[in-house]
Amino acid sequence: MGELKIPIKNEYDIVSARQAVRELSRELGFGTVDQVRIATAVSELVRNVVLYAGHGLMIVQTLKSNGNTGIEIVIEDQGPGIGDPDLALCDGFSTSGGLGAGLPGARRLMDFFDVNTTCGRGTKILTRKWLK
């Protein structure tokens, strides 16, 4: 299975990104609850791209390793970057008057979560979930 690229241009793409990962995770065999977990994490990450960076890209692919199956999602933008990523992953931290629940919530919903960001250059989040 190849990779799926979904450009993030505006808030309507939050819905398309959400639907695309939900569908792929269902095809891979994830149960309803995990499908919703993955889709919810993606919604938050894509929403952040739209809000803070304006636009970006989501790349989704299937993982196969030692008989395990997973889904890998990369969400990247060339926006302002996150000043302090450790702080941004704390519950309640927001620079926009939001709840500050998006990033920490998305991290909890997934199995692996890596934030790579450089001030002034952008943000790349790589996240994975494995089928149990």
Ligand X SMILES: Nc1ncnc2c1ncn2[C@@H]1O[C@H](COP(=O)(O)OP(=O)(O)OP(=O)(O)O)[C@@H](O)[C@H]1O
Judged by the rule CB under 5 A, the positions of this chain that interact with Mg ion are 48, 102
Least Cβ distance, residue 98 to Mg ion (angstroms): 5
Nearer to Mg ion, 92 or 120 (CB): 92
On the CB side of 72, CA atoms within 13 Å amount to 14
Residue ranges binding ligand X (CB under 6 A): 44, 48-49, 52-53, 77, 79-82, 88, 93-96, 98-104, 123
Q: Could you give the strand order of the β-sheet that contains 122-130, starting from the edge strand earlier in sequence? A: 4-8, 56-65, 68-77, 122-130, 112-118
Q: What are phi and psi of 66, to 5 degrees?
A: 50, 45
Torsion of CA 89, 17, 14, 18, to 10 degrees: -80
Q: Which is nearer to Mg ion, 24 or 103 (CB)?
A: 103
Least CB distance from residue 54 to Mg ion, whole Å?
A: 14
User: Minimum CB separation from ligand X for residue 14, in Å?
Assistant: 12
CA distance 110 to 97: 25
CB nearer to ligand X: give 28 or 123.
123
In the list Mg ion, ligand X, none, the entry touching 95 (Cβ below 5 to 8 angstroms by class) is ligand X
